Structures are given as structure tokens and as C-alpha cells.
Amino acid sequence: MGTLVNIFTLLLTALVLENAVFSRALDITSLLVLPFGKRGLRLFGMILTGTTTIASLIAGLLNPLLGRWENVQYLRPVVYIVILTLLYGCVCFLLNWRKRDWFSGHHSMITMAFFNCAAYGAMALTVYSGFSWLESAVSGLGIGLSFLLALFVLEQGRRCMSICNIPKAFRGLPSELVYVGLISLSLYGLVGHQLAA
Amino acid sequence: MLQYEQKAPYVRNRDSAFTFMMDVVIALLPLYFMAFYFYGFRALMMGLFSVAAAVVSDVVCLLLEGKKPYLRDISSVVIGMILPLMMSAATPYYVVVSAEVFAVVFVKHVFGGVGQSVFNPAAAGFAFAAACWPSQVFSYPAPFSSLEVFGPVSQTLSNGPSWNLFQGGVPTIDVLDLLLGKFMGPMGLTNILVLATCLFYLLFRGAIGWQAPLSFFAIMVTAMLCFPRVPESGPMSLVHEATTGMWVFGGIFLLNEPGTLPKRSSARLAYGALAAVFTILFQRFGQMEQTFAFALLLTNVFGFTLDRNSERLLRQLRRAYLATRTKHSEKKSAQRA
Amino acid sequence: MRQEQNTVKKNLRKELDLIFVQNPVLVTGLALAPAVVGSFTMKNGVGLCLVFGMVTIPVLVLASFLGMLPEKVPQYVRTMACALLAALMLIPARMLAAQIAPNLFDSLGMYFSAVALNTVWLVRAPLCQEKKTLWSLWEGVCLTVGFSLCVMAVSTVRELLAYGTLWGKATALPLKFPAVAYVFAGFIVVGTAAAVLRWCVDRCHDILTLIRRQQKKWRA
């Protein structure tokens, strides 16, 4: 029961309090800029959720082993990126082998889902927070879901801003950044302090 | 039929945006009078500086956008008057001015100016000030202490009863003093009776709708009565929370800002309820003593969505009603035949 | 010969556009996370620029070499090679960063290494596979300069406003806004910088059009 409560709290924290997009700006580029369209972005969010969950699970499992190295601080990021690369290679190979048509249409989306701040951030956060493998997986899942939540919120914001008479210089990316900034400010009232990078 | 989506304010009667805003200004004046009564000229000067900063930044933004300043647009005056009332009377002027400039430039004008705001400018300004200078914003002087009009305040400042509540303690203030607003707190938020009068005035004048405040206050009062934050009886918890918190003031002046408020009645009811839920969550799990402004900013995100979805829901209900009516009349005509 | 020269000039201009007109962060919106979160002091800004340059330039050069491989080699294998090189480049970048400021790595936290997976090279590397090595190098340099200009401008403003200092040294600024160092302010400052850049580019464009019209008139 205690573990379940712990997992639920962790998931809720990752979704709201430490929302990967609003509190840490992880993968904000994919959210604001990538031309995948509404449906494409949702699919991207789901792929990203899978990526962050698996990546942080692997990181959680590897952390005790990595901790034994002498120059672990230098090598940990390299190891994480190598793991992400190998994971990406495996997924691409399998998809290319089994579902070639789908893969050729979604290749860029899969690349972006693996090589971004969110996937790396999910792995790095397992070290900063000292998570076990289960907690790491839940935290990764929370980061992916928080991207989907942010996507929903930004969709509403875009609809609302589309009928506003926004000054020319602020139209598009600048106003969206200010919009995300103000949501981030509202969540600051809940957290009350700056999160560790 | 073509339907165009339009942003607020939606003025239905002969009153204009100017008369609506004048009503809000008139409703704010008693609060300034009480602030003057408790803290002297410094309270008025804070209001004056704030309004001046708001108007100047508004005019500068308009000129930068290549628009002409419109004399009958007093929205910046309203923002300028609301913001200092949420702060301590001893707050340095630069804090008020900075918060005001932030509110007008980054919240009002970035999204298109008057009536187009996506977020409440005054709430955002307060949130910015609270994030930047929490010690200045949340340190209060005692009422009837003569504060210096210019320069730093020499009186001892301390945390108000809202801090006690935030820490899980029960404030030891006489109930009469609480109702009269004779305790340390933000300069315009402590007078619950005056605030209630303001609410009735605005409702009577039609400057604000009844829907959002009704659902907001109903949920807030129920939550305070049934689930007190500190170990005390429900009614006492309600008195403490209502007199020391920002939510009563916010429920009257911030929640009903026409730029962010949904246009449909059902959406407004849902909006008020959502604001109440967020306020309670922020109050229970937040890390600041006054969190209403932050909760409202998050509520603002869903205002437009509620409007859209309520419209869709109503349209579907109307269609279903018309379909059943046609079926019924067809049945009747068949029976007659 | 003249045609070739014109093409070179055109390409040079096109790549130079990456500094201002097509700035990777403020206009294209790539690599936003480090620019928003990490750039709250000038030292951090320099650290980010250093990692960005050390990762992006070699990766784009490698991408142009990968373009010479036979078409049979799938795109994802090329991307993997680029990612591995980016990861390896983090080691010398970390060593150099320690020379600039010993606590730079800790101050930037995960964003130091996250720059290795920046979207700039992810978007540009497939394009660089069709270019010559020298052009890829030039593109990498232009992208680094564009990123550095944005990050340094944002970090200078944020350090000045948040702490009242420049490169850690106190200035005469009487007012400090501590919250400007926070993430929400990062979003707002970067958003405002993007708007300012767009306004400047639009004005420059207007002025240039006016001058061209005048020149045409005079010629006529």
C-alpha cells in the first residue's frame, strides 16, 4: 500500500509540481515548434512517454553500477546518451524490419522522441533524486505524461490566442513562450522555490 | 449560420466598458478609504504610484504598437488600483511599480491589450512581486501605525495571521477585530464587511455576473466549513480563512475580470468552481501564504476551453431537444391521421 | 565562373542568415530548453555556448562525411553516429568548462549535457549530408554564433536584473529582481528577445526595401 501511495505521489509530482515542460522547460522545442500537427504531436507525446519511461528505467537499473566508477561525473552523461542511441537503433531496426511503411512516415518523429532534453532529463533526474528502478520508471512515465498535459494546455492557449489581437512582433513563438512562462509562474506558487537543474 | 468567436468584454446592455470599469473603480474606493484609515497616507501613495505606473506603461505600449491612447479606456487604472490592495502597506514603492509594469506590459499588452487578456494582469503582477520579493510583500505593519510616506518604513513588520494558518496554527485575534479588519494583513483585503458591500454594489450595478462568484464562494465556504485547514471548528475556520485570505477579494475583483471570464452562464459557473478547486489545492499544498493569484492564473488557462465546451454541450442539448420535439409532433400528427 | 561566384555568395548569405534572420533559438525555436533554464548568468551562458559549439560543429562536419556513404546505409544509422560523436564531445567540453569556471558544470546541471542532444544538429544534420564539408563547417560556425548571441544576450539581461552583477562583478544597478533567474522568467525573457529580434528584422527589411526603391527611382 505504501509503495502504491509513493508511486501515485511521484506521478502526481512529476505531472503537476515538477511538470517537465513548465518547471524545467524539457522538450519545449517539440511542443512549440515541430511541425507534426495536432494528431502528430499527440502521437509524438505517446512515443516520448514510452521513451522516457524505458530510458529512466534503464538509468535506474544502471545507477548503482555506474556509481562504482571513479570519474562517473564525467562519464555518466556519455553513458546515458550512448544508451539512448542504442535504444533508438534497436527501435528503428525493429520498426524498419517489421513496419517499414509506418517507420518511413514517422522516422523524424521517432528521432526527435529519442534525442531530446526530456529523454536525457528523465535519465539524469534519477540520479539527482536518488530513485530506485521502480521510482525511476514512474518518474519517466510522469515526465512523458506531463508533456501530454502541457500539450493539451498549450492547445487551449493557442485557440484562445488565435482570436486575440496580439502585436505583430509577439505573434507565434514569442507569445507562446510568454504564455508558457505565465503558467510556469502560476505553478511557482505551488512549488515555492526554484527546482534543481 | 456563421458564428464568429469574439473576445470579452461582452456588454449586453447600454452600459459601456467605461461605465463597467468606473463601477469597479467606485467599488475600490471604500477599500482605499479603509486602507487610509488604518495606515495613513502611505496607502494612498501606493495606489497613486501604482496607477501612474500602470497608465504610463499602458500609454508607452500603445505608442509602441502604433495605436493612439484612448482616454475612456481606464482598464489600466483598474489594474493599478487593484494591485496595491493585495500587498502590505509597508511594501516599497518600487515593488508596486515593478509589479504593475510587469502586469501591463507582459500580461495585458503581449496578448493584445484591453479585453484580450488571456491571464488576469493584476493577479500576474502580484504573483511576480510575490516571487521576486516575498519578504516585502508578506511583511505587514500593525494597523493604526503611522507609516512614513516616503522612504523605508521604520515600524516593526511581522507576519500576519495568514502565515499562522499556513503554518498550521490558529490565529489568536478577536472575532470582532477580524470582522472589522483590525489586524496585520494586506492593506485592502482585511475588511470583510466592506468587501461584502463592494460585492453587492457590483452585483446590483450589473458590473459583474452572479454565476462565477456564486459557484466560487459556495465551494470555498463549504470547503472551509467542512474541511478546516487547522484544528478548529468549521465556522471559526471560515471566519479566519475569509478574513485573512486573498480569496474573498479575488473572488470579487479578480475572478470577474471580463477579459478572462467566460461568456456563457454555464461556463462561468464551471469557471468559478474550477477557481475554487485550484484555490483550495494551492492553499493546502502550496508553499506560499497567499496563493489565490497563482491559482487564478492556472484557472485562466481553462476559461476559453470551458466556454467552447459549454457552447458545444448546449448546442448538442438543443439539438436533442428539437429532435425529440419533432418526433413527438410527428407521432401526434400520425395519431390524428 | 561568375555564376559559380554568385552561387557561393548566395550560399554565404544564406548561412549568415542563421545568425540573425533565421536565428536557431529566437526565430526557429530550436534548443530552447538550455536557453530558457540555463542562461541566468553570463558564466552559464559562456558554458552553454562552449558545449553547443563543441558539439554542433563536429557533428555537422561528420554529417557531411556521412553523406558520402552509399545510400544503402539507413538514415537512422547516420543519426546514431552523430549522437555518439555528440556524446563523446561532452568530455573535452566538460574539461574546458572547468577551466572557465570550476562550478559551471554543477551550476548548469543536466542542461550542460542536454545541449549534446540539441534539436539544432538533429534538424540540420540531414541537410548537411548533401553539402560539402566546408559548407557544413561554415553552417556549424554560423549556428554557433547565432545560438551564442541569443544565449549571451539573454544571460546578460537575466544576470543584471536578477543579481545586479555582470560576470559576477557588482554593478551600479539599484534594483534587483531575484525571480528573473527562475524558469518562468526565462520563458518570458526569451519570448521578449524573440519579439525584439523580429521587430528589428522587420524594421531593417522595411528600410532596405525603401532604399532599394529610392535607388530604382534615381536610376530611372
Query: A58: domain range?
Result: 2-191
Inter-chain residue contact B132 with C175, CB threshold 8 Å: no
Instruction: Please list every residue in chain A whose beta carbon sits closer than 8 Å to the beta carbon of residue B302.
Output: 156
- What is the chain A residue with the closest CA to C108? A197
Instruction: Please list every residue in chain A whose beta carbon sits closer than 8 Å to the beta carbon of residue C196.
Output: 169
CA distance B308 to chain A (A): 10
* Interface TM-score (ipTM) > 0.90: yes
Q: Rounded CA gap, A30 and A28, in Å?
A: 6
**B53 within some domain:** yes
- Yes or no: say if C143 and C124 are a contact pair by the CB < 8 Å rule: yes
All cell numbers assigned to A94: 525493429
**A19 within some domain:** yes
Please, which residues 108-147 of chain B have a Cβ atom closer than 8 Å to chain A? Answer: 109-113, 116, 118-119, 124, 127-128, 130-131
Question: Would you state the pLDDT for residue A66?
Answer: 84
- Yes or no: say if A82 and C82 are a contact pair by the CB < 8 Å rule: no
Please, which residues 156-185 of chain C have a Cβ atom closer than 8 Å to chain B? Answer: 175, 177-180, 182, 184
Question: Is residue C10 over pLDDT 90?
Answer: no
The most confident of B145-149, B176-180, B295-299, by mean pLDDT: B295-299
Cβ atoms within 10 Å, residue B125: 32
All cell numbers assigned to B327: 418526433
Q: For residues B277, B280, B281 and B282, what is the CA-based torsion angle, rounded to 10 degrees? A: 120
**A77 within some domain:** yes
**B21-45 residue pLDDT tens:** 999 999 999 999 999 999 999 999 9
> Which stretches of chain B are DSSP H helices?
17-39, 41-64, 75-85, 93-102, 121-132, 134-137, 161-166, 175-180, 192-205, 211-226, 234-244, 247-249, 265-285, 292-336
Nearest CA to B199 out of B131, B235, B248, B268 is that of B248
Better-predicted residue by pLDDT, C162 or C102 = C162
Is the CB of A36 inside 8 Å of chain B's CB atoms?
no
The beta-carbon neighbor of B301 closest among A156, A165, A170 is A156
**A8 within some domain:** yes
**C194-216 residue pLDDT tens:** 999 999 999 999 999 999 999 99
**B215-273 residue pLDDT tens:** 999 999 999 999 998 888 889 999 999 999 899 999 999 999 988 999 889 999 999 99
Question: Is residue B313 over pLDDT 50?
Answer: yes
DSSP code string of chain A: -HHHHHHHHHHHIIIIIT-TTTTT-TTHHHHHT---HHHHHHHHHHHHHHHHHHHHHHHHHHHHHHTTSTTHHHHHHHHHHHHHHHHHHHHHHHHHHH-HHHHHHHHHHHHHHHSSHHHHHHHHHHHHTT--HHHHHHHHHHHHHHHHHHHHHHHHHHHHHHTS---GGGTTHHHHHHHHHHHHHHHHHHH-SPPP-
Which of A27, A31, A32, A78 has the highest number of chain C CBs within 10 A, making it the mutation to test binding with C?
A78
**B35 within some domain:** yes
Query: B158: domain range?
Result: 17-144+154-336
**A145-172 residue pLDDT tens:** 999 999 999 998 998 999 888 999 999 9
Question: Would you state the pLDDT for residue B4?
Answer: 56
**A164 within some domain:** yes
Q: How far is CA C114 from the centre of its chain?
A: 14
Nearest CA to B119 out of B266, B299, B285, B246 is that of B299
Query: C99: domain range?
Result: 2-219
> In the predicted model, what is the mean pLDDT of residues C6-23?
84
Instruction: Please list every residue in chain C whose beta carbon sits closer than 8 Å to the beta carbon of residue B94.
Output: 175
pLDDT category of residue B10 using cuts at 50, 70 and 90: low
Identity of the residue numbered A120: Y
Number of domains in chain C: 1
DSSP state of B154: -
CA distance C157 to chain B (A): 16
The beta-carbon neighbor of A89 closest among C38, C76, C186 is C76
Inter-chain residue contact A120 with C110, CB threshold 8 Å: yes
Identity of the residue numbered C128: C
**B73 within some domain:** yes
Question: Would you state the pLDDT for residue B11?
Answer: 55
**A85-122 residue pLDDT tens:** 999 999 999 999 999 999 999 998 999 999 989 999 99
Question: Would you state the pLDDT for residue A154?
Answer: 92
Question: Would you state the pLDDT for residue A180?
Answer: 96
Q: Name the 3-class secondary structure at C75.
A: helix
The beta-carbon neighbor of A186 closest among B6, B110, B298 is B298
Inter-chain residue contact C117 with A120, CB threshold 8 Å: yes
Is the CB of A192 inside 8 Å of chain B's CB atoms?
yes
Question: What is the pLDDT of chain C when averaged over all its residues?
Answer: 91
**B3 within some domain:** no
Run of H or E including C7 = helix C2-16
Percent of chain B at pLDDT exceeding 70: 96
Number of domains in chain A: 1
Question: What is the pLDDT of chain B when averaged over all its residues?
Answer: 90
Residue B40: phi and psi, rounded to 5, are 80, -155
Whichever domain contains B53, its CATH number is 1.10.3430
**B61-104 residue pLDDT tens:** 999 988 888 888 899 999 999 999 999 999 999 999 999 999 99
Question: Is residue B1 over pLDDT 50?
Answer: no
CA distance A2 to chain C (A): 30
Instruction: Please list every residue in chain B whose beta carbon sits closer than 8 Å to the beta carbon of residue C191.
Output: 110
Question: Would you state the pLDDT for residue B269?
Answer: 94
**A197 within some domain:** no
pLDDT category of residue B6 using cuts at 50, 70 and 90: low
CA distance A6 to chain C (A): 25
β-partners of residue C165 are C170
**A178 within some domain:** yes
Number of domains in chain B: 1
